[in-house]
Each structure stands twice: as structure tokens, then as C-alpha cells.
Structure 1
Amino acid sequence: MYLQKVIITSALIAGIGLATANAQAKHEDTEFYTPVPKKVTPGKTINAAPSDAVVLFDGKNLDSWVMTDDRTQPAQWTVANGQLTVNKKTGNIETKQSFGNYQLHIEWQVPKNITGTGQLRGNSGLFLASMGKGDLGYELQILDSYDNNTYTNGMAGSIYKQTTPLVNPSLKPGEWQTYDVIWTAPTFKADSTVNTPAKVTVLYNGVLVQNNFELKGPTQYVGEASYKKAHGPLPVKLQAHGDKSEPVSYRNIWIREL
């Protein structure tokens, strides 16, 4: 009984103390006025670049891009009718500029007259961070996945060979599709081991398909992905996949560093 009285008394004292503190508190105590967010003017449409974006492709030229296998060479893909089309004979292209954490918008189109099946149907790839020649880096898959049977961690919206998309919001071949990506780059310790892994959130045609997914490492075609090499900011890369179907096209590419 004595112990119960002590507990009750202590609770009452604590309650009185809390009530007194709340009575003395002011609403200003939990308000702050710095830092002041930088003003950013949104684009005129939902897909248009905001004022602080770096425009990587506006339909006019490839001034922001180079060849992946030889970065001294300008990008050699085709620009016509406001869009950029893969040139399979020349290879992958990537941005001149390197990026760490970012928000990226990109629109892509698989041709209406696409042929083939599985991975041979409008295959390309958006490498969220390019690690050099060929297909090295972290790949978000681009593929016709409207009505196309393939392994699910290789369909559109997948982080290639690592995870499937949460849902499949793919449109028909011939229609323009969008990716909006939030990329958090990996960080590394002084001994080159991983400090924090890469993470990515992807909206595909406005639908969430990757929700802050934690990557196991760069894309690995055979075997499990893992982090083997420390790195800092890297270019964004577009893939010229070697299939026989009609090539993928891109438009309206912009990025915001975070």
C-alpha cells in the first residue's frame, strides 16, 4: 500500500510539473525562421524543368553528353524532332557533368512497331551513376513491359537484377513514358568499405515503383551485386543495348542536385 501511495504521489507531482511547464511555454518556442529555403520557380507543366534544374536534353542538341567509352568524343546519337534516339553502332552516352544526390526527370519511348520478346524488346537502360566503359554502374531498366514476358527484376521500373517494381504502370509501345527519380548516392569510409549504401525512389508514369530501395551495389549481370569500389559523384548514362529491335528514344531530361 505504501509503495502504491509513493507511485501515485510521484505521478501527481510529475503531472503538476508538466502542466506548469506547459503553462509557461509559448508557441514561439517551437517556431524557427532559419534557414530560409531557396526560392525555386516550378516548371509551367508538371514535367517541365524547375528554375534550379540542369537541363540535360531540351530537344535541340547533345552538348551535355559525351561517349561513354571515349569521353573525349561528343555524343553521337541522333537528335531529330525534339527527341534523342539511341545509335547502337556508337555505344552508350553519358553526361559531361558528374552528380551525387539528385532528382532526375526523363521521358522515354519504345517504338510502336517494336518486335522481339523478353529482353529483346526495346531494351535500353538509365544508369543512375555510370562507373565507366560499357554497362558499369547502377541501372534502372528501360524496356517494353506493357505485355511482355521476362524476368521481373529485368522489366521496366526494376533496378536491374536486384529488385522488381512494386507495380507495372507501363504504357503501350509508341507512347511516351516518364521516370522521376530520387537518387541517394552511396558513401564510403576511408578504407573504401561502404558507409551508407545507395538508395533510390522511382515514380514511373507518376506511380511509385521503387520506394527508397537500398541497392546491394552496382549492376551485376551475372552473380550477386556488391560494392567493390569506392567512388564519389558520377555521370548519368544512357545505354545503347545490342538487341535487334527498333531503338528507344528520349526527351525532356533534367536534373536537380540535392
Structure 2
Amino acid sequence: MRQKFLVLGFIALLTFGFVNTLFAMKYIPADSARQDAGKNDLIGRWDISMDENGKTVPSWLEVKLSGNRTLTGYFVGVSGSARPIAKVNFNDGKFNFTIPPQWEPGERDFIIEGELSGAEIHGTLVNSEGKKYNWKGVKAPYLKRTGLLVWDKPIALFNGKDLTGWKALGKNQWVVKNGVLTSPHSGANLISEQKFTDFKLHVEFKYQKGSNSGVYLRGRYEVQIEDSSKDAHPSSVLFSGIYGYLSPSEIAALGPDQWQSFDIMIVGRMVTVIANGKTVISNQEIPGITGGALDSNEGEPGPVYIQGDHGPIEFRKIVITPIK
């Protein structure tokens, strides 16, 4: 009889444990599973369009998983470089985070709030001056390329005579002197009328001491031109860096008042930069748009765009070889 009670007791314990396990599987992980699914939907890169008083301006967000539960990321606004996000708070499909101002006026942290809506996100941004804007975003394309590269014929974007094939964003200060495309002072940026997808680009340029410019690929990704010291530690915001993302292996600048060159190849998101004959970035991925981008439509062709609002700059050759 005693053995019978022991057996029955053992069966009861097993049954109780099994029921508890089923209960836990049914109720405890359910919310957690939904939360994890939501996090997984948010993780990734997002191309964002923001409404600034009726004008559409580009932005970009990346959300990453740090460890097994914390979301972090990077954010690119209308200006400046990619800014790290210490923590993205996420709950029931909604998220928020803050970032400090960079080049913007005002002392407040930016407050970004959003929510998942199918394959899109949307929300609001309150900037460092307290102004509030609406935005919406879609998943950024991978831009993976397959197959052999076949190049078309080179195209001289600058003809050495005038601004044919270019347009200025704003009041134009660009002139052509002795076959040189010149921006004598800060003013409008210059944009090619033709748009391109994948290409090789050769540019020859000269800057004055302390000046700053850049060449934007597809109008979205800036290769930095700046009077950087050769002894400076390589940085993404210095000479030949992909602004805010990719640092060159060295500062291969020749210094101010010297003709210098970039040879750049971009295929999908992969970029190579050769500065004055030295490969300083070799087939590295550009994660997203840089500050100053014309738009966030990363899957579309875009122009070559030259920064003219950061000081004097000269170009004597701009040649592009598109992919067939």
C-alpha cells in the first residue's frame, strides 16, 4: 500500500510539473515572443523622409541589437554625421530615443518617437530648438550586386569651359576660370544634371588652407575633401573619409594649394577610394546616407554633387565611367 501511494504521489508531481510547464509556455513567453518579434521587425536600416514645414528632407536610422535585449543604433539628420544612439526604448510596437545636438542651434536633446506600421515606420522628431516634425521611413535596400562589372565609356562631366550639365542649389557663385571650375567663396552646392547608379569617378581638385568641401556619390554619400593634416589620426570626417562612417587607412592629403585627386568606385553600397594614388578605403560598405544628402531614396540613381558651402574649392577634371 505504501508503495502504491509513493507511485501515485510521483505521478501527481510529474503531472503538476507538466501542467505548470504548459501554463508557462502558454502565458509567460507569449508577450515576450511578441515583443521579440516586434524588435526583430524594427532592427535594420531605415530610409526616412521628414516633413519640415512642407519641404521633404532626408534622414536615416539604423537599429541594432546589443547583447540579447538592448536596442542601440545610429541616426543621421539633415546635417552632420551619423550619431550613436545609446538606447532605443521599445514597447508594444512603439519606440523612442534621444540624441544630443551636433551642428544645430539650441541646447535641447533631439527626441525621436515612432511606431511600426507593417513594413514601415512613422513618427515625430522634436529638434534642439523645440520644433516638431513628422516623418516616415521604409527599410533601406541592401543594394547587393552580382555578376561581372562591365564599364561604359567615360563621360567628362566638366567640359573645361562653362557650367553646362550642372545646376546650382541656390544663388550661384561657381565660375570657370582658365579651364578650372571655381567656387571662390562659400555659396551654393553644384549638382550634375545626369544621374548615375554604379560608377567610377575621377576628380582633380585644389583647396585653400582651412577650406572644406566634398563630393557626394549619387547625391547621398559624401567623400570628404578637407584641409586635414597628414599627421592627423585618420577619421571619417577628415580627408578622403566617407563622412561619419568610413575612416581612411591614412591621411594621404598633399596639403592646401596643391592639385590632388580622388579615384572612387561605388558598386551597390561598396566603395573604394584612392586618394593621390593611395588606396585608403578598399571595398567597404556605406551603411546609409550622410548629412547633406539630397534625398534618402537609396535604391534610385543620383547625381554627382559638389559641396560649395564650406569655403573656396577648385576642380579641373571630373570624369565618370558608369557601369553598363
Q: TM-score range by the shorter chain?
A: 0.5 to 0.7
| Higher RCO (Cα < 8 Å, 6 or more apart) | 1
Q: Alpha carbons of 1:87 and 1:235: their partners in 2 closer, same or farther (altered >3 Å)?
A: farther
Pair 1:252-2:317 in alignment: yes
Q: Alpha carbons of 1:68 and 1:89: their partners in 2 closer, same or farther (altered >3 Å)?
A: same
Alignment partners' CA distance in 2, 1:228 and 1:235: 13
Query: 1:213: Cα distance to partner?
Result: 1.1
1:90-132: CA deviation from partner (whole Å, max 9, x where unpaired): 4111100000100110001012xx2xxxxxx2100100111xx
Q: Alpha carbons of 1:230 and 1:109: their partners in 2 closer, same or farther (altered >3 Å)?
A: closer
Find 2:214's aligned residue among 125, 139, 143: 125
Query: Which residues in structure 2 correspond to 1:212-231 (within 5 Å)?
Result: 212-220=283-291, 229-231=297-299
Q: Give the structure-2-normalised TM-score.
A: 0.49
Asked whether the 8 Å contact 1:107–1:177 carries over to 2, the reply is yes
Task: Please list every run of 5 or more consecutive structure 2 residues that lacks an aligned counterpart in the other structure.
Answer: 1-148
Find 1:232's aligned residue among 284, 291, 300: 300
Letter in 2 for 1:233: P
Between structures 1 and 2, the one with greater strand share: 2
Asked whether the 8 Å contact 1:146–1:173 carries over to 2, the reply is no
**Which residue of the partner structure matches residue 129 of structure 2?**
none
**Counterpart of 1:154 in 2: which secondary structure?**
coil
Alignment partners' CA distance in 2, 1:235 and 1:104: 12
Find 2:248's aligned residue among 165, 187, 190: 165
**Counterpart of 2:217 in 1: which secondary structure?**
strand
Alignment partners' CA distance in 2, 1:89 and 1:167: 28
Pairwise CA RMSD of aligned residues?
Answer: 2.8
Aligned residues: 174
1:104-161: CA deviation from partner (whole Å, max 9, x where unpaired): 10001012xx2xxxxxx2100100111xxxxxx2100000123575882111110001
1:58-78: CA deviation from partner (whole Å, max 9, x where unpaired): 321110111235xxx9x6511
Pair 1:202-2:273 in alignment: yes
Alignment partners' CA distance in 2, 1:151 and 1:203: 15
Bigger radius of gyration: 2
Task: Please list every run of 5 or more consecutive structure 1 residues that lacks an aligned counterpart in the other structure.
Answer: 1-36, 41-50, 115-120, 131-136, 186-197
Pair 1:241-2:312 in alignment: no
**Which residue of the partner structure matches residue 159 of structure 2?**
58
Alignment partners' CA distance in 2, 1:160 and 1:241: 16
Query: Which residues in structure 2 correspond to 1:89-100 (within 5 Å)?
Result: 90-100=187-197
Pair 1:68-2:169 in alignment: yes
Alignment partners' CA distance in 2, 1:205 and 1:242: 22
**Counterpart of 1:180 in 2: which secondary structure?**
strand
Asked whether the 8 Å contact 2:231–2:251 carries over to 1, the reply is no
Pair 1:180-2:269 in alignment: no
Q: Give the structure-1-normalised TM-score.
A: 0.60
